[in-house]
Structure 1
Amino acid sequence: MAAPEWHEPRSLEEALSLRAEHGEEATLVAGGSFLGIVMNQRLFSPTMLVALRGIPELDFIEADEDLLRLGAMTTHRAVERSPVVREGWPSLAYTFSVVASPRVRNQATVGGVVADADYASDPPAMLAALGARVVARSVRGEREIPMQDFVLGHYETALGEDEMVTEVRIPRSGGRSVYRKFRSRSGEDRPCVSAAAARDGGLRVVVGAVAGRPQYFPEICELARGETMSGGLAAEIGRRYADAIEPLSDARGSARYRRRVIAVEVRRALEDLYDG
């Protein structure tokens, strides 16, 4: 098998031009942690690789009074350790801190974990709960896509063939948010079930690692509107999420097992959210 053609653009414009010319054939390489796995397992054989490591304008963490901006090439470790993120978005810093191991977090990037759309990744559920928006750029311009709408299914996103993720924008919230990760195997494993919850006026609960995309049911979250969060209400919302989701089965747990865990983790996430 021939080695893939290698490109290492030095500017965002050069990378976008390659995407415009070659479309999805131009496979983008950010940290490479996920791509390396699927290539080594011969699950994916790209013909062209476009490395983004030489584009410094994609590596940044910036915040103002309204918004946190994370560049696509910002590593998980940088998000985890950033004083700006820890102070203004502590649940997000925590979420990135529980991904795999420090070695992986030093390599994996924000843009990569979003664009890979791997159902068993930690950050997407938390980003969706926080109302994050993904910035997609092409030579045609820029658009923002809500995180909840960005992931369409396992390894499938709303990106156009000529687009690439350049940053993720997370609004500043005056409310609280929490992230829970249930592992069924080792401490560095991916989640069997994750539950992210945020409240700022309304309630958003997003369950991850159980289906092709993060699971959010606004009609169930509406049960909390105007109500005091009690143990009974938290359990009811957990049960309804478990009933609404069609979980998958994998090495971390069967669909039946996941359904039971969903009810428990959503309840616990709500207890954590309202007890704080």
Structure 2
Amino acid sequence: MARPIPAWLAPTSLEEALELRARYGEEAIVVAGGTFVGILINQGLLQPAALLALRRVRELAYLRVEDANAAGRPLLRIGAMTTHRALERSPLVQRGWPVLASTFALVASPRVRNQATVGGVLADADYASDPPALLHALGASVVARSPQGQRLIPVEELIVGHYETSLRPDELLTEIQVPGGLEGAVYRKFRSRSSEDRPCVAVAAVRREGRLRIAVGAVAERPQYFPEICALAAGQPTIEPELAREIGERYAAAIDPLSDARGSAHYRRRVIAVEVRRALEDLNRIIAARGGSQSHA
């Protein structure tokens, strides 16, 4: 039996998109770039009554920097419909947040990155995509809007499970905000299968104002972050090899990894310990090269 064809909703303004989102609620699936949603529909995993396409809402595609936010740091504001490719190639991002540009350049192929959007990759909450772990480690937040107003949600509170977010049925993710003022930031992507782009283990390590933040992705339903383990490096100008090894081992012990085609739980646990250590070694080199000075990167 043929599947029913969903209604196609194509607003041309944010106001119209918000009204349609509130009207249809959970009956409509939001389509940004469509690279992930299209796969789920083709596989029969989604059978929406309607598709709310945001491609024509041009006011949601932008990259801007505010000189300072409330904490006195520069703030990168990314419209939800900004493509991976636009972010990857932006001189603004390459200059101020190079780790974002290099990480988004690792996603799939240019063909996919020309379609996939920054808001879409977060709203999809796909555990095996690259950007969520990095944005989590960077302390990024998203703006969720509805006809009733808007709220700011930290990325660490946005993704709550496999393909699940804390967005309400009447809300759209409209913006991503990434603070700067970093001493250094690293993203490492470990692939276990050369034929596949998706990571087996992803590690993002960031240091800001002497505080370390590590998020491990692709190993559980959401990025994994343990502030009590990161606190072991508090006050350390550099992370010594023994401490880097200890933090890696503690992360591996604290995470309950899943098993899938890219690796078993046992295999992932071993990789986590190694990749967290290597990320901290990379972070040390970046900070040393900059003389420990503050940077937007």
Report the TM-score when normalising by structure 2.
0.91
Whole-Å separation in 1 of the counterparts to 2:181 and 2:206 = 9
* One-letter identity of the residue aligned with 1:151: I
Which residue pairs with 1:137 in the alignment?
145
Residue 26, structure 1, aligned to residue 36, structure 2: no
Which residue pairs with 1:210 in the alignment?
219
Whole-Å separation in 1 of the counterparts to 2:195 and 2:115 = 19
Query: Percent of pairs identical after alignment?
Result: 66
Which residue pairs with 1:152 in the alignment?
160
Match of residue 265, structure 1, among 267, 271, 275: 275
Q: Post-superposition shift, 1:19?
A: 1.2
Whole-Å separation in 2 of the counterparts to 1:175 and 1:162 = 38
Q: 1:188 to 1:70 in 2, by over 3 A?
A: farther
CA displacement, residues 144-165 of structure 1 (integer Å, 9 cap, x when unaligned) = 1001111001100010010010
Q: 1:188 to 1:82 in 2, by over 3 A?
A: farther
Whole-Å separation in 2 of the counterparts to 1:75 and 1:24 = 25
Q: 1:98 to 1:223 in 2, by over 3 A?
A: same
Match of residue 242, structure 1, among 230, 252, 256: 252
CA displacement, residues 213-254 of structure 1 (integer Å, 9 cap, x when unaligned) = 000000000000123411110000000000000000110000
SS in 1 for 2:85: helix
CA displacement, residues 172-214 of structure 1 (integer Å, 9 cap, x when unaligned) = 1231101000001126510000000000120000000000000
8 A Cα contact 1:72 1:111, kept in partner? yes
SS in 2 for 1:36: helix
8 A Cα contact 1:99 1:188, kept in partner? no
Report the TM-score when normalising by structure 1.
0.98
* One-letter identity of the residue aligned with 2:279: A
Match of residue 230, structure 1, among 237, 240, 251: 240
5+ residue gaps, structure 1: none
Whole-Å separation in 1 of the counterparts to 2:234 and 2:55 = 45
Between 1:182-191 and 1:109-118, the stretch displaced more is 182-191
Between 1:167-176 and 1:155-164, the stretch displaced more is 167-176
Q: Post-superposition shift, 1:25?
A: 1.1
5+ residue gaps, structure 2: 68-73, 287-297
Residue 219, structure 1, aligned to residue 228, structure 2: yes
8 A Cα contact 1:196 1:205, kept in partner? yes
Whole-Å separation in 2 of the counterparts to 1:242 and 1:12 = 43
Whole-Å separation in 1 of the counterparts to 2:101 and 2:258 = 28
CA displacement, residues 103-126 of structure 1 (integer Å, 9 cap, x when unaligned) = 111110011100000000100000
Q: Post-superposition shift, 1:99?
A: 0.4
Whole-Å separation in 2 of the counterparts to 1:164 and 1:122 = 21
Q: Post-superposition shift, 1:275?
A: 1.5
Which residue pairs with 2:13 in the alignment?
11
* One-letter identity of the residue aligned with 1:53: R
Superposed CA RMSD: 0.9
Between 1:182-191 and 1:62-71, the stretch displaced more is 182-191
